[in-house]
Structure 1
């Protein structure tokens, strides 16, 4: 079949970035007269390099799935633009190089797992011999036996098995960019471990992985960078060290001095009478010398940094307080 090149396909931009979002926003109209507006996504700008693993965190209703669907070209943004692998969002050439696992995927119940993968692979135009070999390899990868996949219909699968076959179908076209919406949902600890290993394997192959998750520990183990969405706004983006501080941060307790003296040095400073504690934001020897100059003293120093969970809750609460 001869493909007709569209004007969109001819507007590819050569870039080292896999995903670029520029001021993306999505507004829905609700109500009987459609006179009420809900801003599901607001002024979201993001750049993800090829080969990067990027995780998006956020509470329910934060806009994570909206952002993902806009990047996939499933829904159109109200404002803003973006590109996948240099192509405009929704371009057919980009879609060939994308794998996608929805959060709540619906598959035809009376297909077997093998038939589903064969069908999806055929849609992507994967040649039959390669498709069969790839299906076998993917079933091994996600921990499903070929006999079960060939004989058992999807309506007989457990939630975890459906999630595993969903991961396999997202990889059937050997994509350059993989979008995973809550990939650990419904999986037991073994299944979560296997999905983490799959994502790390994709990372090792140089593929770009973009995924949403509620499970902070998984994000912390996998991602090169993370973003936090709340009420449609991207309120934090960076590596764990950039967001949480390096491993050489310290939790310091002491007495003496005033808040005005210590606030330039310590984050999350708390006073209890004459005693204080906080996280040191600067060089430890310099801080100890400073304490001597103001007649204060450190009584406990522990090597530590804020956890991702603590940072996440702090950012979400801070965002809410701005409303």
Structure 2
């Protein structure tokens, strides 16, 4: 999905006709999701997290309705177009757009939705995110209420910051559009992990025992940097993958995954977990790619010993080849 296709999708949401024009339930949910993404860098949300705030927006700016405020958020949560949105229950089973579901059903089944990766890939750029918000405003909202809605979801601050950045030198604008909030929890955790690993790597000569990699602490909490069983590590505190590893393979033995190495012994691509692109670990990697998150590669150099390489960047997602391309540049 390119930018033009994204904007076409936003302009052509299936909405009901009301006396005041087109219903605003879906645009309000999307604007709330955009504002939440700016603040948290998370494109995923449970219905329990969204119902009250989205219900308040619909109650304030949507058509008059006698249904409960909480249930008013259920309609857009279930029926938002699936080219933009994915919806699953607590067992990670897809929830179809029909039949309709009540708020109580969504809460009971731990429903959670997320903007699709190809949508998030565009929203990472502040310019595109704001253009998407403007598209919704022009199509569904009045000028006066748009200001109130943008203020309610937190996008007014982003517009102001973007306008200030437009008057700055090119390097400052690039800095703004590269990251919406460089001081967020995810970025701080990764920076501290890199610093900690640099010291640990020097101390152990590039041969760090697995057990030590489980002892990283951030803001008073232990957050292991490597998964004890899987190759991809996504801590529950983060929205995207933090690290990946290649286990040590003795000479003359075949590696379990064909992750090609370059002439310097650095990994060039990393294979998917299994063959399902929507496996939660592959999704975590895809989020690191779309959000441009720097990662860590742990290279097994002996049994139970690893050498960290960072920052690693995922440069391309290739579902047809079941892999992500990698660069250390």
TM bucket normalised to smaller: under 0.3
Q: TM-score by structure 2 length?
A: 0.24
Structure with more strand by fraction: 1
Bigger RCO of structures 1 and 2 (CA < 8 A, at least 6 apart) = 1
User: Could you say which structure has the larger radius of gyration?
Assistant: 1
User: Which of the pair is proportionally richer in helix?
Assistant: 2
